[in-house]
Amino acid sequence: MSRKIERLINLTIALLATKRYLTKGEIFRSVDGYDGSAETMERMFERDKDDLRNLGVIIEVGSFDPVFQDEAGYRIKPEGYSLNLGEISGVEIALLSLAAEAWRGAALDDAAHSALTKLHSMGVESDLDSLPAISPRLNPTHSDFQVIALAISKREVISFSYLSAVMVAQMRTIEPYAIATRNSHWYLAGRDLEKREMRTFRLDRIDGEISISHGGQGFEIPEGFDVFGSLESDETVNIATLDVRKGKAHLLRIIADSCVDKGEWEQITVRYFDYQQFVDQILWHGADVLVIEPTSLRNQVIAGLEEIVRLHA
């Protein structure tokens, strides 16, 4: 195993150091670790190239003379190989460190840690003292989180089994656009290939493994796509008018757009996006909230109350 690793490192060094393309012949003659028959070396080299590419190393293929198309040559351009974040300060390194630390114990812990190692190898001292003392943490989520992250960056289609509201597991196949987290839940948004529509999924409702369908056609992610923005857009917004008891229902008050004093009660207007969720939220507040408008919402709340009475009478 060591010999293989040595050879990969030596190959990387040689291809990085060269100012011109190196031919296979030159590589076999000069880079330590290539021996055996021509065929063996050829096979070794093909595998090594794949391995380095899998590590994210970009190997350029070119020739000395484009007109005569002689033997292909290889090199690794230093500007593609190394981390280049432009001018970077100690405060910025500290901010990035906090960002990486947020993953401690969560899905991308390893990736965040290796990113941190690279950032700390830039020779810029992290200026953590200039930041306020905060230590935000990301919540753990589905064990296949990395698969999603990778699929988004490589534009690959993923499939998984998803628990519907009636607890039936359904296979979903989507083009993943983005992941986001809020209120300690993780969300995945993308285009559902079967339903031909944008859909958002809560990761804790994914049942079992997530698989990448390789060789799928690449897709475009809309510029500036925003998970919560797509859930809560002007097209999905509804407005309700509610009477709320004074000093109560502060969960609804925080999201209220307006508030009018009516003595014992106050009348607020609230924007909502998910119908059933909003009905549930109103009923949570019991006798402290009364729906005034719209009628459909009011009827839905009344229907819920009637069902509660029927079940418990």
Partner 1 sequence: MHNSIQTPLSRTARLLDLVPYVASHQGIEIEALAQNFNVTQAQMISDLTTLWMCGLPGYTHLELMDLSFDSGFVTIYNAQTLSNPRSLNSEETIALLLGLDLVIQSLPAEREDLRERARALVEKLSSRISIKAKLTAIPSAAGSVRALIENALTKDSWVEITYHSSYSDTVSTRLIHPLELRTEGGYEYLWALCHSARNLRVFRIDRIQKLVPSAPPEAPLYAVEKEAEKTAYAIRVHSRPRAAMERFSLNRDSLSHENEILSFSSEWVQRSIMASSGSVEVLEPSGLRNEIAMSAQAILDRYKAH
Total binding residues toward partner 1, as defined by CB under 8 A: 122
Residue 98 near residue 135 (C-beta atoms within 8 A): yes
Residues 39-78 that bind partner 1 (CB under 8 A): 51, 54-57, 78
Which of 37, 65, 171, 183 lies at the binding interface for partner 1 (CB under 8 A)? Answer: 183
Q: Which of 20, 25, 30, 38 binds partner 1 (CB under 8 A)?
A: 30
Kindly tell me which of 171 and 311 has the beta carbon lying closer to partner 1. 311
- The residue length of the chain stands at 313
CB neighbour list of residue 64: distance below 8 Å, 6 or more residues apart: 20, 21, 70, 73
Nearest 5°: phi and psi at 213?
A: -90, 105
CB of 71 to partner 1, least distance (A): 18
**Which of 229, 233, 260, 293 touches partner 1 by CB under 8 A?**
229
- Taking residues 239 to 268 in sequence order and writing x for each that binds partner 1 by CB under 8 A, - otherwise, the string is --------x--xx-xx--------------
Distance in angstroms (rounded) separating the CA atoms of residues 164 and 200: 12
Phi, psi of 114 (to 5 degrees): -70, -30
Run of H or E including 16: helix 2-17
**What minimum distance in Å lies between the beta carbon of 165 and partner 1?**
5
In the set 84, 143, 233, 296, which binds partner 1 (CB under 8 A)? 84
Closest CA to 255 of 241, 272, 243, 242: 272
Q: Are 200 and 189 in contact (CB under 8 A)?
A: yes
> Which H/E stretch holds residue 232?
none
**153-182: contacts with partner 1 (CB under 8 A):** 153-154, 163-167, 177-182
- Interaction residues for partner 1, span 275-294 (CB under 8 A): 276, 279-281, 283-287, 290, 292
> Going by C-beta distance under 8 Å and a sequence separation of 6 or more, which residues neighbour residue 153?
none
Q: Interaction with partner 1 in 110-149: which residues (CB under 8 A)?
A: 111-115, 117-123, 131-139, 146, 149
The residue whose two tokens read 């690959």 is 156
**Shortest distance, position 67 Cβ to partner 1, whole Å:** 28
Judged by CB, which is closer to partner 1: 104, or 195? 104
- d(CA 181, CA 163) in angstroms, rounded, equals 19
Residues 6+ apart with CB under 8 A from 42: 24
Nearer to partner 1 by C-beta: 196 or 310? 310
Q: How far is the CB of 65 from partner 1 (least distance, A)?
A: 23
The answer to the question of residue 231 lying near partner 1 (CB under 8 A) is no
